Amino acid sequence: MAVVKVKLFANFREAAEKEVELEADSVEGLIRALVEKYKKLEELMFEDGKLRDYVHIMVNGRHINHLDGLETRLNDNDIVAIFPPVSGG
């Protein structure tokens, strides 16, 4: 298991913490561990057991859509950033 740093933004941060360290082998495992630790995140991140389309996840500055998605492997000291939808005006 890799120890990674997770940075949460906007309403995800409000439901958990700004930054947390967790152990996981993959992005999917990390998200599950995060939701287990911070129950409020589940309704924000998941719908019908699936990750909501608007949840953006980056590993070391690269969006997981450009890696292996939720199956992206994690290594010690990786930094994972998780963003909700952002709007501005």
Q: Which amino acid is at 26?
A: S
pLDDT above 70 covers what percent of the chain?
96
Token look-up 């409000």 returns 14
* pLDDT confidence of residue 48: 93
Domain ranges of the chain: 2-83
pLDDT digits (tens, 9 = 90+) for 39-80: 999 999 999 989 998 999 999 999 999 999 999 999 999 999
Token look-up 């997981």 returns 64
Distance CA 72, CA 25 (A): 9
Query: What 3-state DSSP class applies to 5?
Result: strand
Q: Note the CATH number of domain 2-83.
A: 3.10.20.30
Q: 25-49 as b/e, with b when 16 or more CB fall inside 10 Å?
A: ebbbbbbebbbeebeebbebbeeee
